[in-house]
Amino acid sequence: MRTNALVRQVARLALLVLVAGFGLDAYADDPAGGTEEGEKKWKLRGEIRTRFEYLENFLDGQDSDESGDINDDEFSFAPYRVRVGAEGELPRDVHALVELQSFGTLGNEDPVKSLLFPPDQAGELEDLEDVNVQQAWVELRRIGGSGSSLRIGRQEDPYGTELWKGDNDFGNGISFDGARWWWTSRRGKDTIGAFYYKIDEDNVDPFFEFGGSEDANFFGATADFKLPEDRGTVGGYVFDLQLLSDFPSTKIYTIGGHYRREPSRDHAWDWNAELAIQTGDLEGGAPTGLDVSSSLFEGWIGFNWGEGVRQRVHLGAFFASGDDDPFDEDFEAAIPLFGDGHAWNRLGDTDFFGTNFTETFIFGLFSEDGTITGITDISVGYKAKAASGRHKFLGALHQFMATEDFVAITGLGPVAEDDLGLELDLRYGYEYSENVAIEVGVANLALGDAFDLIVSSGDADDVLRAWGQLRLRF
């Protein structure tokens, strides 16, 4: 009789972290470890998240007439994520975290861990171990009594609204290997930072050796300043993604700025406006590659009211440039980096426009990995939150359009169309206790005229996604 996979993974994670926690604590108390006398605080932290999901027409945009039909892609699955960590504070403003993780789907003896299935829930192909390290870092705070801090190791690093750097919290997380430095002003409202992350170590290749670095690197700098009298935050950033393993190499520079004020009970209006441009070379630039020249804008304005039940309405716009001519030497489609496509209800809760399934439909609309590019989204939404914070509701409507005219691949030849669809999202959250939260949601995408030209029936059907989630955090 086989042991339940989820129970076994939880037990294994707990045992590993407990051992690591006791070991770190023992080291901290050992004078040979180089620490000074002082208070040492260690605590366990963790998360258990299980979600049931149901999808219809996610793969082909067509209903099936009967079970087993070639268009029958209605299915359900239950992804889970388990994290357990030991977090500690040591003398001389040293902070450390070790966090282990396991994820998969209920019912699998060996959890599914591929990029292909289930949609949006899987990790990297190389994450085949039962338990992997999600975070492991050491942080030096207030170095020399200044406002500078340095964090070295594997770490999560979301920035801003997570447009370019996120933590993929709805999925199974994103973490980076490297170092991050930041300085915080004495009033704690201004931050300047820089980071360097190793995305892929590829210098040792038994078959090809071109000399020099062949790694993939991601580094950049950010600066954010809070305006007085609660007028919001302004900031700017420069990111550089280098894929040196490409031959010739690919280099993408992302330069942007934002002006944002978060929703709060202290003011009625909130807003966000973020604009970025991208330049660089895809695989060396012309004539061996493509010259990058793209842009992306995301913004919204919201109005909040109510003392008991806090309510909010918002109007938003998302614009990612597309490539109007895929056969010339310029690449004008926005290139996503490591953002969180599900954060802030970005592009809707179906996540249909954030997966590599959709690129099989439309040529010139999506990048190689099928994530957000070449798309425009105009949205309106409504939120409500009880004074106790235990009840939350979201409703949103998204109109999707192609930013540039694109060529739809059909049996009748090329046809231009830009209507991608209309999506309705509904989501309800309930805080069962301080540590346990429940969420249910449904998202329905009525595919537009562009997909009518592509599906074999000539009439695309709605894409449906529904889920129920239980999350425990401690």
Which position has the higher pLDDT, 342 or 380? Answer: 380
412 has a pLDDT exceeding 70 = no
Q: Is pLDDT above 90 for 7?
A: no
So what's the pLDDT on residue 186?
84
CA separation for the pair 305, 313 (Å, rounded) = 9
% of the chain at pLDDT higher than 90: 49
pLDDT at position 283, please?
A: 78
**Model confidence at 354, in pLDDT bands (50, 70, 90)?**
low
Q: What is the pLDDT of residue 372?
A: 54
Question: Which is higher by pLDDT, 474 or 118?
Answer: 474
pLDDT tens-digit readout, 86-113: 999 988 899 999 999 998 888 764 544 4
Mean pLDDT of 50-55: 94
Lowest mean pLDDT among 2-16, 148-162, 281-295: 2-16
Asked whether the beta carbons of 251 and 241 are under 8 A apart, the reply is yes
User: For residues 257 and 10, what is the distance between their CA atoms, to the nearest angstrom?
Assistant: 42
Residue 133 pLDDT: 93
Query: Is the confidence at residue 374, as pLDDT, over 50?
Result: yes
Structure confidence at residue 429 (pLDDT): 98
Q: What is the mean pLDDT of residues 444-459?
A: 79
Q: Residue 217 pairs with which residues in a beta bridge?
A: 198, 242
The mean pLDDT of 459-469, rounded to a whole number, is: 92
- The pLDDT confidence band at residue 67, using thresholds 50, 70 and 90, is low
At a CB cut-off of 8 Å and minimum separation 6, what does 254 contact? 164, 220, 237, 238, 239, 240, 241, 276, 277, 278, 335, 337
Residue range 336-348: mean pLDDT, rounded: 89
Determine the residue type at 459.
D
- The predicted structure's pLDDT at residue 371: 44
- Of the listed ranges 170-174, 287-291, 380-384, 421-425, the one predicted with least confidence: 287-291
Q: What is the pLDDT of residues 267-299, one digit of tens each?
A: 999 999 999 999 998 876 655 678 899 999 999
Q: Which residues of 358-382 are buried (b: 16+ CB within 10 A; e: fewer)?
A: bbebbebbbbeebbbbbbbbebebe
CA distances 110 to 102, 129, 130, 255, Å, are 11, 10, 8, 42
Please, which pLDDT band fits residue 407 given cuts at 50, 70 and 90?
low
Query: What would the two tokens of residue 187 be?
Result: 């009033």
Q: What is the DSSP string of 155-220?
A: E----TTSSSB---TTTT---EEEEEEEEE-TTS-EEEEEEEEEEE-----SS---SS---EEEEE
Q: What is the average per-residue pLDDT within 428-451?
A: 94
Query: What is the layout of strands, in order, in the sheet containing 415-416?
Result: 362-363, 407-408, 415-416
pLDDT of residue 245: 66
pLDDT of residue 5 exceeding 70 = no
Place 367 in a pLDDT band, splitting at 50, 70 and 90: very low
End-to-end CA distance of the chain: 32
3-state secondary structure of 118: coil
Q: pLDDT (tens digit, 9 = 90+) per residue, 203-249?
A: 655 555 555 667 889 999 999 999 998 899 999 999 999 987 666 67
Q: Give the span between the Cα atoms of 199 and 128, in whole angstroms.
A: 18
The pLDDT value recorded for residue 289 is 72
Give the confidence band of 250 by pLDDT, cuts at 50, 70, 90: confident
The Cα-based distances of 198 to 66, 147, 213, 242 in angstroms read: 48, 26, 12, 10
Give the pLDDT of residue 111. Answer: 45
Q: Residue 39 — pLDDT band, cuts 50, 70, 90?
A: low
Residue 156 has pLDDT above 80, yes or no: yes
